[in-house]
């Protein structure tokens, strides 16, 4: 396999991860003669269905196997994608999905910037008493190879909610602190979930966490030196695993 083929596989991989459903894989297998290879792969369709983190690796593995047997298959895959999905499709979700929706928000403007793989958006109350918490989150992000931003770290628009939406849109992970049942944080969490972001909830009290979110693992912490260190010990490795 040459360099050009490798680059083409990576480009096709991005579009496939962004758009493909199980039905697309079945159709592609029939069109290219690789139905047995696709269905016989031990993880491809299963990882797609379950939203597993290794789905991208499985896509690359299948595309590589197809190309090794028939290099011209890359053009056939590209033609199929161009027929089914426009090339300019933007993918902002944390994982692929069997079904997708298209929506046009009336309150926000869609940012003209891509998702940043190393960006963590932090949604928490803007309160001086939370300064230590934010510092802990930032240090945990640095430990895991991320950079953290909060809405008050940026000022690109006259309307703050646009900055918040843009920050969530650009991020790959969103950390939300439910301490104090802040209504803005609740609202921002809804935005993050709608955009398909990977959300990590934290709180000083489980009682401050919305009932609908309690089935997720919430990282609880005490707002003292020992508690913040314990938060860092939990949050840092979690982010590191996601980054890996």
Q: pLDDT category, 103, cuts 50, 70, 90? A: confident
The two tokens of residue 201 are: 């909830």
**What confidence tens digit (pLDDT) does each residue in 188-200 have?**
999 999 999 999 9
Cβ atoms of 133 and 224 within 8 Å: the answer is no
pLDDT above 70 covers a percentage of the chain that reads: 91
CB-CB neighbours of 225 under 10 Å? 9
Q: Higher-confidence residue: 90 or 189?
A: 189
**Its pTM surpasses 0.75:** no
Residues 30, 73, 61, 171, CA torsion sign: negative
- So what's the pLDDT on residue 171? 95
| Residue 175 host element (H or E) | strand 173-177
Cβ atoms of 104 and 111 within 8 Å: the answer is no
**What confidence tens digit (pLDDT) does each residue in 104-135 have?**
777 888 888 888 989 999 999 988 999 999 99
Q: pLDDT category, 211, cuts 50, 70, 90? A: confident
| Architecture per CATH, 119-243 | 3-Layer(aba) Sandwich (3.40)
Looking up tokens 């960006």 gives: 119
Q: Which of 6-10, 125-129, 146-150 has the highest mean pLDDT?
A: 146-150
Q: Is the pLDDT of residue 234 over 60?
A: yes
Q: What is the mean pLDDT of the chain?
A: 89
Helices within the chain (DSSP H only): 3-19, 22-32, 35-40, 44-50, 55-69, 73-84, 131-143, 160-170, 183-194, 225-243
Q: Where are the domains of the chain?
A: 3-84, 119-243
- Contacts with 14 (C-beta within 8 Å, 6 or more apart), sequence order: 91
- Contacts with 172 (C-beta within 8 Å, 6 or more apart), sequence order: 94, 115, 116, 117, 118, 119, 120, 197, 198
């Amino acid at each position: 396999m040459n360099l050009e083929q490798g680059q083409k596989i990576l480009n096709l991989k991005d579009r496939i991860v962004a758009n493909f459903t199980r039905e697309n894989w079945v159709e592609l297998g029939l069109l290219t003669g690789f139905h047995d290879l696709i269905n016989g792969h031990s993880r491809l369709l299963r990882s797609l269905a379950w939203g597993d983190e290794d789905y991208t690796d499985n896509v690359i593995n299948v595309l590589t196997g197809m190309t090794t047997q028939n290099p011209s298959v890359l053009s056939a895959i590209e033609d199929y994608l161009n027929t089914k999905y426009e090339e300019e499709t933007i993918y902002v979700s944390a994982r692929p999905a069997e079904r997708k929706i298209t929506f046009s928000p009336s309150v926000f403007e869609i940012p003209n910037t891509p998702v940043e793989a190393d960006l963590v958006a932090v949604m928490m109350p803007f309160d001086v008493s939370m300064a230590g918490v934010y510092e802990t989150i930032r240090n945990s992000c640095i430990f895991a190879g991320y950079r953290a931003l909060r809405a008050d770290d940026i000022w690109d628009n006259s309307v703050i909610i646009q900055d918040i939406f843009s920050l969530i849109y650009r991020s790959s992970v969103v950390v939300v602190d439910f301490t104090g049942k802040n209504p803005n944080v609740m609202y921002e969490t809804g935005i993050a979930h709608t955009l398909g972001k990977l959300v990590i909830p934290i709180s000083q009290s489980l009682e401050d966490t919305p009932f609908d979110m309690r089935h997720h693992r919430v990282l609880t912490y005490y707002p003292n030196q020992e508690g913040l260190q314990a938060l860092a010990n939990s949050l840092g490795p979690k982010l590191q695993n996601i980054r890996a």
